[in-house]
A and B are shown apart, each in its own frame.
Chain A
């Protein structure tokens, strides 16, 4: 009898287990849009995510918390093969060379990774935009929060498309993240995509805050949106609109070209241009009045990036450390690998008095610095071979960054990365006038920039596209992603600049290299619709 009872009890217990509750999952170990995007705080975290995501452009390798790896110095793939720099043939991160040799193909890592970067950022923005449709969000400030959140997300969506359009041409316009994956994307003509992007940026420019001083450094303002709006109008050749947008920024009164010394080293030798590239001098609170938007980086501080963020220094600083008579020094830029060397035309294009050509901003003279060497203190007689091997050559100091005492091999360049500064807005304005063939207005805008550099004003008659691009290089070398700029000017200009100014790429560049190929994996996976490769690439 006892057995019977025990047995019946066991069986009853076994069979009565409530299926539903037993199989329910404990999801407390992670967050999802459903439970996070329900309040201002949740959306705020989502926006932080977008800022951090945008910084992943500079993420080389995986580190705790990064979502994907780009490979070493991905952003330099946007400089190489254009009209400003040469990369050496050995000792360069191997995946960069194809961009100079134009042997890049549809499996090249940066070709794949920029595509991922663009659509990854867009998807995160779309997730936020979609979540705003929920009626039950608890907003701290229901009047303003929803608009600001939407504006920020739209800005980043436009920012993502900026890369895609410039690098790949026609790309699908995507407004939502579907849990049921689509495989039937089709390429939308670039100009149509631009229309959508302009809509996004318009909304952003109308709803983002306008007073940068009331914000934390690094946060977006309407002026950043207007700057990119001007750029996009230029692509569409809507120069009137571009002028209006750019002028709004220039005339906002919020920003000024840094004409006087400021920031961390303002009492040391130097000049105002150089001050902009000193660590901690990019944000507004340092006294910098020119930065409109800077991606935030901070050395060895949580949230500031990691060992694998932004290896620009490694690319831009000469590999002097590998030349006898040298030892690593922060004053020489820390440890670079000399992968990028500006072309001579750039070095030779400055007036002597141009501030941007000062010894602080372009290091032309190198002195052996190893006290143990008989060469110590002597000036380096820069040979062709030193240039070729990237050991010593004249170059910009914008990416000098040393933490030699901490780590002689430190790769990073943990200065805030200025994405938009007023000087460029002036040059956009000039570009817009130039589209209208209003050379005097263009010259006027350019001369604002030149004046700060103490360079002679340019005659309106001499202003043309090439001059403007030269000026952009003089002002923005390494800061702007040069391929994106040339892309805006069109295929003809791109080819002309490359063949005229880049002896390494000249013999190999073909007109189809104006665009990058579509990553093969995208074509392969998009099995439900034809997704043509860019012409010329197989």
Chain B
């Protein structure tokens, strides 16, 4: 029986056995003094019950149960585990079993002593289903057998369990389930200290005869922590927790899967369980801090927005640094916020060149592989997940109240007068009319309070059904998210439907279908946060009819009411379909299979907006309406040929790929002004003025050939060779194709005969080097591209179309691939029998021929052009640690830590060794820096300013550093003020369980990062325009000679800015859960109920004031940072939620 869903579990099992075996084979002989009572966190009967260490490779073991396992990549070949060929005459059963195991990946459990009783086997079969072959093989044997998953357990016929003579014997029955309530098949159930035992069936049930009540039973399964329980006559219900030992999990790699111990590259994984402890509707949020080297920046915290992601820093200066995302094998071009996190089975992050090389073309920025949940054979399962939460602004600004504001305005006026040699006017003369009026009346408005929504609700519900039988499995899920923003009018709704079907058509043909349908709605016109921050507390809010006062401070153009467009309509709906279907063919050559996958990404975005005469934006034109539509359609066809064989100690896995991909984005826009009535956007033809029509098309195509060879010898010397050739349409027709090779090797040192350490149970060294490409530029950069620009001759008549070239419109005819060569050295280790697992990776990358939006002198007629120029390098270190601090029956404590350091540097720009300081690109410095004048204080009265390097400065002005010491401030005094991208990131998680309780908390932070400090830059608050300011800023006045913040009247020289260390440390998620299980639930046919309380963004330690210390605007196209406005970004919410997860 093939159970699709359990593929990973099976793999896990086999892997662990494998290790166990190899440990036994190669290492245990050196395990001097090994004792049973030593700490062992592998299921005891597999490894630790050995008392005698054999002196040569084991073939036969004196075990209650012995398992042989295939030394191949079973998990990757689930497709051909169905069918075997045997041609033997009078062969020993042992040989046959080994051969079957080799071909099929099935594992045999048996007691060696019975083999002696076996009859010789003669059989001639060709490509027959294994079940039938096994039936034939054992037809004439003194054994019965039982197939569970891929495990075949042999027992002698009529075996009678020998036990000590108990006083009372009976039949003990029960069921074994996992923490989620799912039945666990294949669990070994043994009587402690005796040979008697059984395994659970597919429904997790077991039955043991003649076992006395109170006898200790040992329940164990690879991948789970074993458990000892006294037998009861009442049906037993045993919960086996998943083993925390991640040493040998199976990892989804590109175009296949590998067990972690076989990896040569640097790949990190996140399981659905890891995702569970962070309660967010967005999968990217859930990943933050979980993977060393994955930098996630929640630059925009608004509902539905996706954080920016970088794998191992940034290589590219102006092409995209976004990693490639693959969903179930197909490149995913949608937004990560489209994905319902509960439908994700696991995520792999491919980091080094060797692991990403198979995706050569877009892989230089790393690859994120998302595998969605699939059904598993067995009883249908129903699962409900849901939570409800409330959100509040986590950190608001301490703005001035009315009297403070008046003082600030007066200070500003005094200072202006002092500087101009006049006398300060009276408040009624400089305050805006409304402000003066409100100040007289003493009516203040708390503008933050007006725009923020307190206790903004969020709820998410997901219901899934899954199940199947040996030939077909299904998984279906529907999910709904309804999130209000902490800023009014910024709601987000999402609907997801997922379907996953797998069908075996015959023993050699399999097909599957995966489909994700999503819709998300973003409606409403959000108030302007910036205006709320800067509005005078004495501004007028609303009139007696509740209508907004368009300009609260009076007809002052810079600061309209935050809700000036409140009456406008804005509807945005995104719909997408991500679907793929595959056909997997087992070819008539041993180990050879072919898989073809066709996938589509269809994304549709519709927006409709109407700004009527009653809105600020629409009043001037008697209302305007706009409808936009974007239809994006990509298809990908991947054809994969896999050859997978073992020859004794040699294992080989060869993959060949041909892939084609096309992407097409069509845009339309309709616009009109001047409507008779404000009637929305559905009747744009009623516009009397300025009708506009736009349509556009962007298409790209990619062709790829790839080959990969994985070779391993004795499971300890591993080699991976990869080559990929890619052709991309957007490059110059002469330079479309490029080849990206890589090589990687690994050495499992701990498997070596000479290696003997009780401290270290696993040690592996990985080395890789490879080249990757980056194609991430927009299409058509090789062409000159006109913009349309309209004009009208005369006072009547029609507009004419004009053509003009913008400043980035000139094509570069010689564009080609950007390529990154990277070296990675990694060490995986397990200490104290895997109580501590971890890895350390060091990498160095060099990127050449950068696809750079190059800044050129405007005399060219353009000032930016995409070119292949420049070089960068990245250097980094990543540490990943998982520790099991306490493991007791009732209490466990696990911790994990991820740490990453990345530093990058521009090595070359235009080839002449010169930097471009205006663009902030300095050779020898990181890619994303602030390059500016350095403020070292404030000029004070009494300073000898006239003889200083800033002779024109006035007391209260910022004192700039004369970096080059030439006695004057010039552009040469600009210096590096810090990097926009964190150099260090750290995530620490802790999980505690006590009986049914679980407590997890997760903290993360980023360090070595700088933001523009808009708060110290008083001018940006435009005091002259009556804007408010922060109440806790110590600004300079003659009476308050601050050295921190300059005078409000100071206009920054050469428009210099201020900068702040934006490091933060955040208590991100705290979850307390309780899981109910038991008979009462059984009666209700409920497997388990997990309830939890979660707190997100509980507290943030940082110097940055305000809404979001991570604030970062990024380019839509490249994801690269554009600005770091910490003044008025969308606030990060603090969320408290209550959730439940029910399994039926």
Seen from chain A, the residues whose Cβ lies within 8 Å of a Cβ on chain B are: 3-4, 6-7, 10-11, 14-15, 17, 19, 22-34, 36, 42, 45-53, 55, 64-68, 89-91, 94, 97-98, 103, 105-108, 115-116, 119-120, 122-124, 126-127, 171-172, 174, 177-179, 181-183, 185, 216-219, 280, 283, 285-286, 296, 298, 300-304, 307, 314, 321-322, 324, 328, 335, 337, 385, 388-389, 403, 406-411, 416, 519-522, 524-528, 531, 538
Contact = CB atoms under 8 A, between A and B. Distances in A.
Nearest to B860: A181
22 contacts: A14-B639, A17-B660, A17-B703, A22-B703, A23-B703, A23-B733, A24-B701, A25-B730, A48-B791, A49-B791, A49-B803, A53-B789, A90-B1024, A94-B1022, A105-B1055, A108-B1055, A119-B861, A122-B861, A179-B813, A302-B690, A322-B555, A411-B557
A107 B859 contact: no
A370 to B, nearest CB: 11
Given A298-B792, A527-B916, A24 B639 contact: no
B944 interface: no
B786 A406 contact: no
Contacts of A286: 795
A97 B1051 contact: yes
* Chain A contact residues, majority secondary structure: loop
Contacts of B910: 183, 527
Contacts of B857: 181-183, 185, 522, 525-526, 531
A229 B1079 CA distance: 99
A52 B660 CA distance: 43
B1113 interface: no
Given A183-B912, A407-B620, A217 B794 contact: yes
Contacts of B425: 385, 388-389
Interface residues of B, number: 117
Interface of B: 416, 420, 425, 429-430, 432-433, 508, 550-551, 554-557, 585, 587-588, 594, 596, 616, 619-622, 637, 639, 641, 658, 660, 662, 664, 671, 673-674, 689-692, 695-703, 727-730, 733, 736, 779-780, 783-795, 797-807, 810-813, 854-863, 865, 867, 910, 912, 914-919, 952, 968-972, 1019, 1022, 1024-1025, 1051, 1053-1055
B728 A525 contact: no
A409 B620 contact: yes
A29 B508 contact: no
Nearest to A416: B795
A89 B800 contact: no
Contacts of A108: 1055
Given A67-B804, A302-B691, A409-B620, 6 more contacts: A7-B585, A11-B658, A30-B696, A185-B857, A385-B425, A528-B912
A25 B699 contact: yes
A97 B420 CA distance: 13
Given A52-B791, A303-B799, A32 B784 contact: yes
B671 A64 contact: yes
Contacts of A321: 554-555
Contacts of A524: 855, 915-919
B793 A3 contact: no
Contacts of B622: 406
B57 to A, nearest CB: 38
B861 A120 contact: yes
A227 B671 CA distance: 40
- Of the listed residues B690, B728, B1053, the one surrounded by the most CB atoms of chain A closer than 10 A to its CB is B690
A126 to B, nearest CB: 7
B697 A10 contact: no
B1023 to A, nearest CB: 8
A3 B585 contact: yes
- Of the listed residues B619, B729, B791, the one surrounded by the most CB atoms of chain A closer than 10 A to its CB is B791
A301 B813 CA distance: 39
Contact of A408 (B555, B801, B810, B856): B555
Contact of B1054 (A34, A107, A174, A300): A107
Contact of B791 (A123, A174, A296): A296
A118 to B, nearest CB: 9
A468 B996 CA distance: 95
Nearest to A528: B912
A179 B689 CA distance: 39
Contacts of B802: 45-53
Given A26-B699, A307-B621, A46 B803 contact: yes
Given A52-B791, A302-B790, A527-B910, A181 B856 contact: yes
Contacts of A107: 1054-1055
Nearest to A34: B784
Given A68-B806, A303-B792, A527-B910, A521 B918 contact: yes
Nearest to B638: A14
B671 A89 contact: no
A520 B803 contact: no
B716 to A, nearest CB: 35
B1051 A32 contact: no
A183 B912 CA distance: 10
Contacts of A525: 855-858, 863, 916, 918-919
Contacts of A36: 786, 803
A285 B795 contact: yes
What 9 A-B pairs come out closest when comparing CB atoms? Answer: A123-B861, A303-B799, A407-B620, A538-B970, A48-B802, A29-B697, A303-B792, A90-B1024, A49-B802
B1019 A177 contact: no
Contact of A29 (B596, B620, B696): B696
Contact of B859 (A7, A90, A106, A182): A182
B690 A300 contact: yes
Contacts of A411: 557
B639 A116 contact: no
Given A389-B430, A521-B919, A67 B787 contact: yes
A17 to B, nearest CB: 6
A65 B858 contact: no
A49 B804 contact: yes
Contacts of B1025: 90-91
Nearest to A508: B952
Contact of A324 (B433, B587, B700, B972): B433
A521 B736 contact: no
Contacts of A25: 699-701, 729-730, 779-780
Given A94-B1022, A127-B805, A10 B639 contact: yes
Contacts of A30: 696, 780, 783, 785-786
A48 B786 CA distance: 13
A65 B1054 contact: no
A174 B861 contact: yes
B795 A307 contact: no
Contacts of A322: 432-433, 554-556
Given A3-B588, A389-B429, A28 B793 contact: no
Given A22-B660, A122-B861, A10 B594 contact: yes
Contact of B801 (A48, A115, A120, A183): A48
B861 A177 contact: yes
Given A32-B785, A183-B912, A302 B799 contact: yes
B666 to A, nearest CB: 8
A408 B555 CA distance: 9
Contacts of A337: 557
A269 B1037 CA distance: 54
A538 B803 CA distance: 37
Nearest to A46: B803
A275 B625 CA distance: 36
A7 B587 contact: yes
Contact of B689 (A26, A45, A301): A301
A3 B585 CA distance: 8
Contacts of A177: 805, 810, 860-862
A244 B700 CA distance: 58
A189 to B, nearest CB: 16
Contacts of A283: 794-795
A115 B857 CA distance: 11
A228 B985 CA distance: 62
